[in-house]
Amino acid sequence: MNREDNSINSRPLVENHSANNKRLAKNTVILYLRMMFLMAVTLYTSRVTLSALGIIDYGLYNVIGGVVAMFSFISAAMGNSSQRFIVYALGKDDLHYQRAVFTTSRIIHLCVAFAIVVLAESIGLWYMNNKMVIPDERIYAAQWVYQFSIIACFISITNVPYNALIIAHEKMSAFAWISIVDCILKLLIAFAVQIYGGDRLILYAFLFLLIYVFDRILYQYYCYKHFEETPYIGLRYIGKNIFSEIGTFAGWSLIGNLAWIGYTQGLNLVLNIFFGPAINAARGVAVQVQGAVTNFTKSFQTAINPQIVKSYASGDNQRVRSLVYTSSKFSYYLLLCMALPIMLEAESIMGIWLKEVPDHTENFVRLILLVLLVGPFENPAGQTIQATGKIKLYQIVEGGLLMSILPVSYIALKNGMVVESVFVIQFLVFVIVQFVRLLIIKKYIDLSIVDYLRNVLLPPALVTLISGSLSYLLYLSCSHSLVSTIFVSVVSFSLVLLSSYIVGVNKQERVAVNKMINKILVKIKHQ
């Protein structure tokens, strides 16, 4: 009788996992189709934009936008908080509570947006006028770019709750289509700037602002049309505890996001102080490559993040561990497929992609991709900690370590080290931080460090060693021509896939991969 009861009780859980896996697979496919398109368009847009603006103006736009982004870390913290609490609200199946959470999120984001405008127009404006290295003839344009960037930042912050709502509902098709439209508009802007006879930098910044306005309208319209919790319910219907919960969670998240700003936009400003806007252009190009490659893992992880939160909320720690293990490995393999060919053929690819390649770009690209390879292991672990809601220790320790990147990089450059050293410092700190994350999540999901090392880190290490060694030997033996670049890229990509399949997955994962391949082949056969 007990056995029968257990069987009956376990059936809904199995069925629920099956439904979640199907939804996860569907969302992943949608996001990857989006990613392939966005990557191609984004990279081409960067080429056109760099050609239209020139190295100096392109570098100025990147660093000036960075000043505004310095203040947007508050928004990033609130975005994480909003998404988490919206997912939890959906799990409660209480429409009033869902509306209360979403309304609270909107109010907080609006207040934050106004606060950031004040900071940007005071401290940020002072920094730009007194500390940044800007050619005298471009100061007027820089002022306009800065003001447009502030307005864009305000709009972007107020759009965060709507973006979080779409992701929480796992409506990835809408997310994908809006992103595609956004990307096409950016490409059109690049072409428009190219044929414009006036100040191209000012026009570029203004048209980018219009895209932010368009995105804001589109996200809000979609949410109002499809989600019941979107209508504003009024402050009197919102309990103080909701403000307190979201505010406390976001407050601790601020530390981590401040650190993120420090080692991204902060480094951009430090590089500007020591080397001027030309080096910002090189870093801007490297960041564009980083963004395009990141989409290979971001798409998969965006689809899996709500599943981690929901599984933890339901007390299913076994599934949480499974999602952490699987998503970490597969995200890494997908990333390595793209990163390895680019790291090997950076000079050739940059030469083909860009008409004029800023100095240091090739080295920046290689090093930023090396840093990026730590990312697939970071997101699932970090998302698990976010799911617990117990982020105080995590944010203090992680934020403290990440914030060290900026002063250490400044000291390194001050003492005459090469510009590439900032990326090496970032990589070493990232590795340390990842092991700290593991120690923190260990107690929340009964994670075995030894098991994690054996099942999550060892297989990717073997895949990297095998595919990387063979690809590098091939690279050394080939001439540096267009044909050899294509050949090396295709072979290295294939080696990553092959070694991932042979030594990178366990028996159960290989069976799942085989089933997926067979389904694809059957569909192709019947078409």
Instruction: Quote the pTM value.
Output: 0.68
Is 164 inside a domain boundary? yes
Distance (Å, rounded) from C-alpha 391 to C-alpha 387?
A: 9
Say whether pLDDT at 523 is over 70.
no
The first and second tokens of residue 66, run together, are 């960075």
- Confidence (pLDDT) at 300: 65
Query: Do the beta carbons of residue 254 and residue 399 sit within 8 Å?
Result: no
Helix axes 2-69, 346-353, angle to 10 degrees: 60
Distance (Å, rounded) from C-alpha 254 to C-alpha 527?
A: 51
What is the percentage of the chain residues whose pLDDT exceeds 70? Answer: 80
Q: What is the DSSP string of 341-362?
A: HHHHTHHHHHHHH-SSPPTTHH
The first and second tokens of residue 127, run together, are 């920094």
Average pLDDT over residues 489-516: 86
Q: What is the DSSP string of 188-255?
A: HHHHHHHH--S-HHHHHHHHHHHHHHHHHHHHHHHHHHH-TT-S---GGGS-HHHHHHHHHHHHHHHH
The first and second tokens of residue 523, run together, are 């569909």
Tens digit of pLDDT for each residue in 422-462? 999 989 999 998 888 888 888 777 788 888 899 899 999 99
Domain, as residue range, for 102? 33-238
Is the Cα torsion angle 293, 346, 361, 55 positive or negative in sign? negative
Band (494; pLDDT cuts 50, 70, 90) = very high
Distance (Å, rounded) from C-alpha 437 to C-alpha 279?
A: 33
Is the Cα torsion angle 267, 269, 270, 274 positive or negative in sign? positive
Distance (Å, rounded) from C-alpha 288 to C-alpha 42?
A: 8
- Confidence (pLDDT) at 250: 67
Band (35; pLDDT cuts 50, 70, 90) = low
Is 431 inside a domain boundary? no
- Confidence (pLDDT) at 12: 45
Say whether pLDDT at 11 is over 70.
no
- Confidence (pLDDT) at 77: 55
- Tell the residue number behind the tokens 């056969």, with chain if given: 525
- Confidence (pLDDT) at 3: 39
Lowest mean pLDDT among 92-106, 202-216, 349-363: 92-106
Say whether pLDDT at 81 is over 90.
no
Question: What is the tally of structural domains in the chain?
Answer: 1
Please list, residue by residue across 68-77, b when 16 or more beta carbons sit within 10 angstroms of its beta carbon and e when fewer do: bbbbbbbbbb
Instruction: Write the DSSP symbol of residue 456.
Output: I
Is 302 inside a domain boundary? no
Residue 136: C-alpha distances to residues 119, 129, 140, 143, 197 (Å): 25, 11, 8, 12, 21
Instruction: Write the DSSP symbol of residue 481.
Output: S
Helix axes 346-353, 317-344, angle to 10 degrees: 80
The first and second tokens of residue 485, run together, are 């670049």
Average pLDDT over residues 120-131: 85
Q: What is the mean pLDDT of the chain?
A: 79
Average pLDDT over residues 499-523: 79
Say whether pLDDT at 239 is over 50.
yes
Say whether pLDDT at 5 is over 70.
no
Tens digit of pLDDT for each residue in 285-304? 888 788 777 766 666 676 67
Top mean-pLDDT range of 86-100, 258-272, 497-511: 497-511
Say whether pLDDT at 245 is over 80.
no
- Confidence (pLDDT) at 252: 67
| 298 or 335: which leads in pLDDT | 335
Among residues 327, 328, 311, the alpha carbon closest in space to that of 319 is found at 311
- Confidence (pLDDT) at 125: 86
| 17 or 482: which leads in pLDDT | 482
Say whether pLDDT at 415 is over 60.
yes
- Confidence (pLDDT) at 492: 93
Distance (Å, rounded) from C-alpha 398 to C-alpha 262?
A: 13
Query: Do the beta carbons of residue 359 and residue 278 sit within 8 Å?
Result: yes
**3 state DSSP class of 263:** helix
Helix axes 405-414, 421-441, angle to 10 degrees: 160
Q: Which region, left, alpha or beta, applies to residue 134 given φ > 0 means left and ψ of -120 to 50 means alpha? A: beta
Query: Do the beta carbons of residue 370 and residue 425 sit within 8 Å?
Result: no
Tens digit of pLDDT for each residue in 160-171? 888 888 877 777
Say whether pLDDT at 279 is over 90.
no
Query: Do the beta carbons of residue 179 and residue 208 sit within 8 Å?
Result: no
Distance (Å, rounded) from C-alpha 478 to C-alpha 485?
A: 9
Average pLDDT over residues 178-189: 83
What is the biggest distance separating any 2 CA atoms in the chain, rounded to whole angstroms?
Answer: 85
Q: What is the DSSP string of 76-145?
A: HHHHHHHHHHHHHHHHHT-HHHHHHHHHHHHHHHHHHHHHHHHHIIIIIHHHHHHTS---GGGHHHHHHH
Is 487 inside a domain boundary? no
Is 25 inside a domain boundary? no
The first and second tokens of residue 419, run together, are 């510009």
Query: Do the beta carbons of residue 339 and residue 372 sit within 8 Å?
Result: yes
Distance (Å, rounded) from C-alpha 4 to C-alpha 45?
A: 61
Query: Do the beta carbons of residue 193 and residue 204 sit within 8 Å?
Result: yes
- Confidence (pLDDT) at 425: 93
Is 49 inside a domain boundary? yes
Among residues 63, 283, 103, 83, the alpha carbon closest in space to that of 167 is found at 83
Distance (Å, rounded) from C-alpha 280 to C-alpha 275?
A: 8
Is 502 inside a domain boundary? no
Query: Do the beta carbons of residue 446 and residue 320 sit within 8 Å?
Result: no
Compute the C-alpha angle 194/269/431, nearest 5°: 110
Tens digit of pLDDT for each residue in 216-230? 999 899 988 888 888
Distance (Å, rounded) from C-alpha 211 to C-alpha 208?
A: 5
Query: Do the beta carbons of residue 375 and residue 335 sit within 8 Å?
Result: yes
Distance (Å, rounded) from C-alpha 82 to C-alpha 157?
A: 12
With 0-12 CB in 10 A as exposed, 13-18 as middle and 19+ as buried, what is 239?
exposed
Is 497 inside a domain boundary? no
Average pLDDT over residues 384-405: 81
